[in-house]
Chains A and B, each alone.
Chain A
Amino acid sequence: MHSLLASIRIAAATLLICVAGYTTAVWAVARAFAPDAAKGSLITAGDGTIIGSRQVAQAFTRPGYVWPRPSAVDYNAAGAGGSNTSPTSPDLAVRGREIADRYGATPQTPLPADLAAASGAGLDPHISEAGALYQAARVAAARGVEPARVEALIRSAAVAPGGLPTRERIVNVLELNLALDKL
């Protein structure tokens, strides 16, 4: 009985300090030093409507846009998730075939794997630089611009993860498409 009483007193203290106090402190720091990221790194249009989050993938299906990685949850940012299929699963082979066909991939021009493999949350905002360049011709044709201009834009948008000199450079799809709209 006394143990319960002591437990309740400690529960109250930890709730007060580790939940209320701690959360408020982190929130205040976030508001002061990273107000944009704190609210989800949102991108807004000139009229104030929200276009999306620069950290969250959104669906792109028009030929004039660069397409993101496939999403097992159809880019649902209120219920994210992965495919959870085994890499040996026949279902995955079917999906891979459909996607390769959609991009018109051939054994001579194989599709970069990230464009066929779904990400863990279905919201990966990035694709590989190779995956973006793979789509440059289609995007350029749909927009009626020189493929070289699209390729140059992709190369300038590509960054190495963490800013380190690794070979796998990646491109943020939403930011790239916003830049394409400004071409």
Chain B
Amino acid sequence: MAANGGVGRLVMSADDLRRTLTRMAHEIVERNRGATNLVFVGVPRPGPILARRLAEAVASFENVNVPTGAVDISLYRDDLVSRAATPAMHPTDIPVDVTDRDVVLVDDVLHTGRSARAALDALTDFGRPRSIQLAVVVDRGHRELPIRADYAGKNIPTALYENVEVRLDELDGEDAVRVVARPEVANAAAS
């Protein structure tokens, strides 16, 4: 089964995703008692787009423009040597000094927790935030590190041979969350 072109089990539609991001934006503002000290930093590729959508939602009901940015984690990964391929790098752009701000890290899927760990290390190289919180669209379980999400759009129990894809209009031509089988893992299990 290919991982593109609208295949796989649909678990969130475009409307579901929009409502979920709006709810998460409300939760973030409620938990932080306002939005003036917030910064949203996304993990590429989808994270920065999700961060912008959260900021747009906050602007619509709270009338505060939350700065958004991107933090690439390639240089902070713990599997650079064991991975088959060197990960492609994406721009890092931290728009404001994060020291003493409440930074919300935004990622599409929380899985092992290793990306979040790398993002925490990357972020703290830019300053000492008052707090760092984690917002993800999907928490799929299978954690390998003591990391949890402060804001999760949806909990989706998955098997290890599955992949959760958060597909965004800007990157994939549709807004949707799908669960697809990872052919290489499924085949390895079968053989």
> Do these two chains really belong together in a complex?
no
Interface positions of A (Cβ within 8 A of B): none
